Every structure is written in C-alpha cells, then in structure tokens.
Amino acid sequence: MYQNEENRLQEHKQKYDEIEIPSDRLDQSISKGMSRAHMESTKSIRKIGRWIVPMIAASILVFAFIASIRVSPAFASHVASLPGMEKMVELIHHDKGLMSALENEFMQDIGVSQENDGMKLTIDSAIADEQGMVVFYSIETEQTQEELTIKKSELTLADGSELEAVTSYDTGPFLQSDGFTSKVEVMFSKLSTDTDYILNAEIEGASSSESFSIPFSIEHSEETKHVYELNQTVDIEGQSLIIERVIVYPIRTAVEIKAHPDNTKKILHFESMRLVNEDGEEWSGSSNGLTSSGDNETGWSIYLQSNYFENPDELYLEINEMQAIDKEDEFLVFDTEQRAILHQPNGNRLVFDEISNGTAFFSIADENYGFVPFGSIKDSEDKEFGMSGSYNSTGEGSTRFGFDIPKEEFTNPLYIEFEFYPAWIEDEVLIKVK
C-alpha cells in the first residue's frame, strides 16, 4: 500500500550503508563506555585508603578459572525454588559464598517500604556480618516506565552519619520496566556491629525522579567468623610474604598478607589465590567488585568467596602468581612534548602509540592482558593529579591502553604509577589453614 515510501526508506538506508565507519574511534568509544561502567560499579572506591579493583575489560585468561568456580546450575535452581528467592539468586548467583548464605537462611527479612508518587521502594532483606552487608531492595512503579535508573542507593547510619565503607551498587537502566530488584553491597573498613541504618535511594523514571530515605534495622548473630592465625612466611621468587591470617566471614573471606620491607619488588596484584578443601573444591575471588585492599606498605586484605557455612574439615590456601615489578620501576615516565617514554620496566613492553583528544595511548603485544596499568599521575615537581580516566581495548595480538593527560599545567615528564603491569612472579604455594 505504501510501496513508494517503503522503497524510499530502503534507498535511504543504503545511503547510510555507504558511509565510512571510523573503526578505531568506534572501538575506542566502546572501551570508554566499558571503563565507565567498571568505574561506576565500584563507585566510592577511593574513599578509604587504597583499593585495588582490576578493571578487566577483555581478558579471557584471567576469567577462565573464575568461570569454573561459578555455582553449579543445579544448586542455583534449588535455591531459586525457595519462595521469593528467584530475583535475589539472579543478582548473586556468581558468588557461591552469598548463595550459601541464602541457602542457610542467613538472610534476614526486612520488609519495610516507602511510597512516593507512584513509586514504591521495599527493602526486602539483607545478609549482614560484621565485615559487610548486602541489602536487597525492590522498586515497583504504578505505570510502566520507559527507563528506570538508579541515581543513588547508599547507606548511612541511623543518625545520618556516613559509613566508613566501600559501597557498590548497580545503576541500571532498566528499560520498559515497572520495577526491579537490586542490591547495595557494603564492605566496612573497620568491623562493625551497628544495627540501625538508613537506605538513601534516588530512582529516576522517565518523567520524574523519586528520593527515598528508609530506616531499617538488622540483627547480628552471635558467632560470625572463623579466624585462622597462620603467620607463615613464604618466598616467591625471592620476595617474602607474610601470610598472617585467614578470616572467614559469612559474606566473604579475607586473607591478610604483608610484604616483607626488604623485598626488591612491589606487588601489584594477587592474581590467583584460592582456598581449597580436602576434596579439591575451590573458593576463589568473586568475579566482580572489590578483590583486595591495601598496599605494599600497609599489607593487604584479599577477598575470596566465603565457605563459612560449608565449614570444611580441612582447608588449604593456594597462591600461584602475582603481578610484580621492581620497586625502582614503579612509574612509567612519559614526556608529553617529546611524545616519548623515558623510563619503563625492563623489556620495554609498553609501546607509545599516539596522543589523541588529550589521551595518551600505548600498547603491548599481548591481547589477553585485561588490566589497565595506569594509576595516579604526578609531574616532575611532585604535583599530583590523582587517577585519570584510563582505557583499554583489545585488538589482534595486542592490547591498547590510555590515560588522560592532566588538563592543569604541569612540568614534564609525567610519572604515572603502575597499578598493574604484565610481569609476574610465581610459585606453587600451599599452606594448610586447618
């Protein structure tokens, strides 16, 4: 009936098909979008001390073993069949510690809600221990919304004071939605037995934005952790690490480690660490969110999935490899005027590519390196610029990284601290925990 219009539309489309695609820049846009999503899901990351979050954008190797410890589908479907659990299982099925907390009825029902102008927020439940908390909540709207976005969902103490914690939450958007279930994860920087909190949330719909502020209380159970004091020193390629203790909380396990001050290398990231029981069952890092905190001076807490409820008879800690560089190589020294690397770790693995739109790009010949190496930046007069945006993208046979050159005035060269670097020390360390 409208053959002419249809033909015109199709011809029109062909015009668009003929245009040139700016492939490189398109890939860059994708990487930037990814980096932003990663940054945001671990929002208040810089609030306390130094937290390491691997910004893994495209690494098959790094994820290979994490995928293998995902919860078995049978187990997931068992828990999901408990009344009201499906939505929560969807949110946490990648973490077998949290799944097991659910199954062991460690979750507390909360069930308080607030309604604002056609939108209702209900705090459904929480899993809490003295080290952290996962709060589940649901949004229902009277009318289907084109798009719902979580602008904020954070906790404060009942008196309104800020938590000393790292908080992470998803932001959506949920499209064509009349509600959703989401969660806020909190990791305290000091152990806490506070029971009274307020959830502050701001949810944006198509036409309006609603703010909620809902007080709620949780209970702390009597015994909430298993502590194993180890204080064993291990040697990995000449670097000494003191494995102080393993603390198994219901939500996650913390492995506390210190670096020996005489070490010649700076440890950047513990790449493979897991707890194994007598049958070979493994608990490794959670596949997203925070994986460790601390640094070479203070020592680290490395977070693994919890086996609090399984409480195996025997438990071993396995450590294999970590990213490490010589202490004198902790910075990439780069001159933006000469457009040249003045210093980098042995092997010259980083190759300068280009400066484009205020971002300096480098690449390494390894397409499986899924970390963004660059951290905070200072100039030759020690003026600090904090952490800049940084990106990575994977091409054939190589990975490309970038950092944003400071917009303020600076004196060349720039010193960019390595948060990650593709150099590893490794050994097979096995420590009996219990």
Partner 1 sequence: MAKGDVVQKAITGDDTAFLQVIHLYKIDLYKTALAFLKDEEEALEAVQEVTYRAYKSIRSLKNPAYIKTWLIRIMINYCQDEQKKHKQMVFHDDKINQIAAADDYSFFELEDAMQMLEDNERELLHLKYFSDLKIKDIAALWNRPEGTIKTWLTKALAKLKEHMTEEGGKRRVSK
Q: Does 170 bind partner 1 (CB under 8 A)?
A: yes
Candidates 234, 320, 241; CA nearest to 276 is 320
Rg of the Cα atoms in the chain? 24
Which one, 9 or 191, has the nearer CB to partner 1? 9
Q: What is the DSSP string of 182-214?
A: EEEEEEESS-----EEEEEEEEE-SS-EEEEEE
Which one, 59 or 388, has the nearer CB to partner 1? 59
Candidates 95, 254, 253; CA nearest to 183 is 95
DSSP secondary structure code for residue 38 in this structure: H
Please list, in sequence order, all residues whose beta carbon lies within 8 angstroms of the beta carbon of residue 298, skipping any fewer than 6 positions away. 49, 50
Phi-psi region of 11 (alpha: psi -120 to 50; beta: other; left: phi over 0): alpha
Q: Does 34 bind partner 1 (CB under 8 A)?
A: yes
CB of 346 to partner 1, least distance (A): 30
434: how many CB neighbours lie within 10 A of its CB? Answer: 14
Reading the block at residue 242, the tokens are: 């003191």
Which one, 15 or 190, has the nearer CB to partner 1? 15
Residue 275's Cα: distance from chain center in Å?
Answer: 20
Dist CA 243 CA 249 (whole Å): 18
Please list, in sequence order, all residues whose beta carbon lies within 8 angstroms of the beta carbon of residue 24, skipping any fewer than 6 positions away. none
Q: How far apart are the first and last CA of the chain?
A: 78
Binding mask 91-120 for partner 1 (x = CB under 8 A): --xx--------------------------
Which residues ranging from 242 to 301 are in contact with partner 1 (CB under 8 A)?
A: 287-288
Q: Does 395 bind partner 1 (CB under 8 A)?
A: no
Q: Does 175 bind partner 1 (CB under 8 A)?
A: yes
Which one, 71 or 248, has the nearer CB to partner 1? 71
Which residues ranging from 365 to 394 are in contact with partner 1 (CB under 8 A)?
A: 370, 394
Q: Does 397 bind partner 1 (CB under 8 A)?
A: no
Q: Does 327 bind partner 1 (CB under 8 A)?
A: no
Q: Does 196 bind partner 1 (CB under 8 A)?
A: no
Number of amino acids touching partner 1 (CB under 8 A): 56
Q: Which range in 6-14, 194-202, 234-242, 399-407 contacts partner 1 by CB under 8 A?
A: 6-14
Q: Does 207 bind partner 1 (CB under 8 A)?
A: no
Three-class SS of 253-303: EEEEEEECCCCCEEEEEECCEEEEECCCCEECCCCCCCCEEEECCCEEEEE
Q: Does 17 bind partner 1 (CB under 8 A)?
A: yes
Q: Does 147 bind partner 1 (CB under 8 A)?
A: yes
Which one, 93 or 400, has the nearer CB to partner 1? 93
Dist CA 270 CA 285 (whole Å): 10
Reading the block at residue 282, the tokens are: 């493994």
Q: Which range in 14-22, 239-247, 306-314, 406-414 contacts partner 1 by CB under 8 A?
A: 14-22
Among 22, 215, 358, 395, binds partner 1 (CB under 8 A): 22
Among 111, 130, 136, 176, binds partner 1 (CB under 8 A): 176
CB of 420 to partner 1, least distance (A): 16
Q: Does 151 bind partner 1 (CB under 8 A)?
A: no
CB of 52 to partner 1, least distance (A): 17
Dist CA 244 CA 229 (whole Å): 6
Q: Does 86 bind partner 1 (CB under 8 A)?
A: no
Q: Does 63 bind partner 1 (CB under 8 A)?
A: yes
Is residue 130 within 8 Å of 224, Cβ to Cβ? yes
Is residue 307 within 8 Å of 277, Cβ to Cβ? yes
Q: Does 404 bind partner 1 (CB under 8 A)?
A: no
Which one, 368 or 412, has the nearer CB to partner 1? 368
Reading the block at residue 412, the tokens are: 């060349």
Residues that bind partner 1 (CB under 8 A): 1-2, 4-6, 8-13, 15-17, 19-22, 25-30, 32-34, 36-37, 40-41, 56-60, 63, 67, 90, 93-94, 146-147, 170-177, 180, 287-288, 370, 394
